[in-house]
Amino acid sequence: MAEGKIRVVMAIPALENHTKGYLTVSGMLRDAGMEVILLGNELPERVVETALQESADVIGISTYCGSPVVFGEDLLEAAEKKNIREKTIFIIGGIFPPEDVPNLIKMGFAGVFPPGPGSRREDIISCIRNAIASKKPN
Amino acid sequence: MSAERTTKEILEEKLAGGERVPLYNPEALKVIEKELEEWKNKTVREKDRKNWEITPHTILGSGIPRRLTYTPLDIANIDYMKDIGLPGGEPFTRGIHANMYRGRTFTMRPLPGAGTTEEMNRKWKFLIEQGATGLSVALDLPTVQMFDSDEPEAKGHVAVVGVPLCCVDDWEVAFKDIPIDKISYSIVTHFPRNTAILLPMYLVMAERRGIPWDKLTGSVQNDIVMENLVRGAIEYIPPEDCFRVQCDNIEFIRKEVPQWNYITLNGYNLREYGTTGITEMAVAMANGISIVEEMMSRGYDSDWVGERIAFFWAFANDFFEEVAKNRAARRLWYKIMKYRFGAKNPRSMWLRTHVQTSGASLTREEPINNIIRAAYHAMASILTGTQSLHVSCFDEAFSVPSEKTLLPSVRTQQLIEQETQVTQVVDPLAGSFFVEWITNEMERKVLDELDEIEKMGGIAKAIASGRLHHKIAEHIERENRAIESGEISVVGRNVYKSEEPEPQIEVSAYQPEVYEQRKAMLQKVRDTRDNEKASSCLRALVDACKRGKNVTYFTLECARANVTEGEMRKAFTEAFGTWKPPFML
């Protein structure tokens, strides 16, 4: 991570029409002192390109209507291709089936946040901070 | 706003003066006033006296302060016939029908979840067997967003939250053997543009089955607020153009499909996105006003357009506010149509509503509690005489509803109707000092917000300005903080916290093979149709957009030529260009 603020690219799958979670979490991260780049609706490849251009530490995805696993796979694959998968922290939140949670974690998401317990403001912020700390070379 | 004065100014002038017949006699009021003072000082505890008014904090609530109790003094100047009236009579506060539910019960319109065209066909038939009297077509996300199932953006979304219906062939499969001339269908098209694209496909499907369009009943949403304010999307057209498509649809449907409800002013999704019941009503009515103005400028009278305007509300937690909302909305819409637009036909002064109980008020914690929440929401809406109702399913915070959770949702309505007997009396809460007071409060506040929107220049300009977007973003932030701090109580989340582990909820899983099937199916449509005809219809559509012709006649020709939804979307953006909503954070 570069010196200074944690940089987060926040995005929603291209066709997702729900943006409440995206706005809510973006506001929380901004209030926690992070630099939030609001990308809005995009394809996974474009999300990765933006993260690269913006030297983002974190990519945050909010989803509701679609399969988070399908979008997540494509996102991680695109990140792999651009060589940012290892250094980037991926988090995802939204309305999705409970069984998607372990799958997303297994795939490589540092934080998975369906609504409810475990998805509070402090949970999301500390997840990002801890993941960044653990990536720092000792 | 093309008029020089706002609705509020017009109503203030037209309703000023005139003799009022007060409901309560002044002597009785004097006695009550004296007794109330004494009671407050002698009987009421000091603490309660100090906190005479308390502001309620609820999810999606307006926070109208509540007094400890209400008396005739709070509605001292009420004129019964002018302000409340009789059921089915002006000002329609008590409902639009004299016999209300004794004449016809509310339409039970379950939203049947998701699946392929074949699966939806089976689900709809199941619901018809269960006694559903109207059905909704929930579209999958690509169809809602006007993308074909085989476009790259659609990956991961096909048939997940609804049914994919991108060309007339899809509609034929989904509606096979369903008596569309007998069941009313709410086609949840949301936006003006997808209404222009999809309703013609339904009509062409009917045409192919030999069913005349005047036999079809149902509704579309066709709402600019949904397309340019509530929706997240990768591309938008400018609000002014979107507003025009909305009005083109209205004109087309009014002429060609006479029993069809051509617009549902959707307060629901705006409300659920994050706003109060007051803004929900004000924005919906502002759009309604802009529509009537536009149609009058196209040479139609207000009754021609007003007759089939319908509204769609969310019913959330603050019970009496929700009760008041529908009553206040009916009275205000009546005044607008009658006094602002000179409507003569009572039907065009009616505010008819579909209600869905609030999904945003439901929790992932202890989801069975959501059945109880939704039952209160449903009860409030029935007590205020809604025309049509969908009760949100208890697994809303997990995924699109499964068939298992749909049943308690339908049963909630049947139970209220058959067992509680609340439907026997029309507008049973009328005359409560509190209910009449809060009805007045809601009406006044909606009119004030309406005034603000009209001063921005009407609905399209208000959306383009970004001020409504910001209002919502602020609400979302404020409400979230109030839940975090415990100012808003949410049982199972921040009070009486759940110790239960997350329950097993059956959810409809994404079916990756469907995407491949859909690709093949759409390829076949494109290979077998007359492609020259398809392109000439698309060119004609672009031309119609640019030249100000009614676009819906041209999307109809596209549908007849088997043009797909994504192809029509691109024609619209080619003609109108794109627009970016304002930065919201």
As for how many domains chain A has, the answer is 1
pLDDT at B574 over 50: yes
Tokens of B82: 């002018």
Model confidence over A31-55: pLDDT tens digits?
A: 999 999 999 999 999 999 999 999 9
Interface contact A95-B584, CB threshold 8 A = no
Name which of A9, A22, A23, A42 to mutate to probe chain B: the one with the most chain B Cβ atoms within 10 A of its Cβ. A23
Model confidence over B401-455: pLDDT tens digits?
A: 777 888 899 899 999 999 999 999 999 999 999 999 999 999 999 999 999 999 9
Q: Which of B65, B64, B74, B66 is nearest to B36 (CA)?
A: B74
End-to-end CA distance of chain A: 13
Asked if residues A71 and B141 have their Cβ atoms less than 8 Å apart, the reply is: no
Name which of A19, A73, A99 to mutate to probe chain B: the one with the most chain B Cβ atoms within 10 A of its Cβ. A19
Q: For residue B510, what is the DSSP state?
A: P
**Residue A78 in domain:** yes
Predicted confidence band of residue A2 (pLDDT cuts 50, 70, 90): very low
> In whole angstroms, how far apart are CA B520 and each of B150, B196, B493, B515, B516?
9, 25, 46, 9, 6
A125: phi then psi, degrees, rounded to nearest 5: -65, -45
Query: What is the domain-level CATH number for residue A35?
Result: 3.40.50.280
**Residue A1 in domain:** no
- Coarse DSSP helix, strand, coil percentages of chain B, rounded to the nearest 5 percent: 55, 10, 40
pLDDT recorded at residue A97:
81
Least CB–CB distance from A66: residue in B156, B230, B231 = B156
Q: Does B495 reach chain A within 8 Å, measured CB to CB?
A: no
Nearest CA in chain A to B275: A20
pLDDT recorded at residue B310:
93
Q: Does A102 reach chain B within 8 Å, measured CB to CB?
A: no
Q: Does A129 reach chain B within 8 Å, measured CB to CB?
A: no
Chain A residues closer than 8 Å to B484 by CB:
120-121
pLDDT recorded at residue B425:
96
Chain A residues closer than 8 Å to B512 by CB:
70
pLDDT at B110 over 70: no
Tokens of B65: 């302060």
* Runs of H (alpha helix) within B159-276: 168-174, 192-209, 224-225, 239-256, 268-274
Chain A residues closer than 8 Å to B157 by CB:
13, 15, 65-67
> In whole angstroms, how far apart are CA B205 and each of B167, B183, B201, B209?
10, 15, 6, 6
C-alpha B383/C-alpha B376 separation (Å) is 10
As its CATH architecture, domain B80-485 has: Alpha-Beta Barrel (3.20)
Interface contact B233-A17, CB threshold 8 A = yes
Predicted confidence band of residue B548 (pLDDT cuts 50, 70, 90): very high
C-alpha B451/C-alpha B463 separation (Å) is 15
ipTM for the whole complex: 0.89
pLDDT recorded at residue B501:
75
Model confidence over B493-532: pLDDT tens digits?
A: 999 987 777 777 766 667 788 889 999 999 999 999 999 9
Q: Does A30 reach chain B within 8 Å, measured CB to CB?
A: yes
Domain residue spans of chain B = 80-485
Interface contact A17-B144, CB threshold 8 A = yes
Tokens of B272: 């659920």
The residue segments making up the domain with residue A76 are: 7-135
* Runs of H (alpha helix) within chain A: 20-31, 44-53, 68-81, 100-107, 121-135
- As to burial, measured by CB atoms within 10 angstroms (0-12 exposed, 13-18 middle, 19+ buried), residue B16 is exposed
Chain A residues closer than 8 Å to B498 by CB:
117
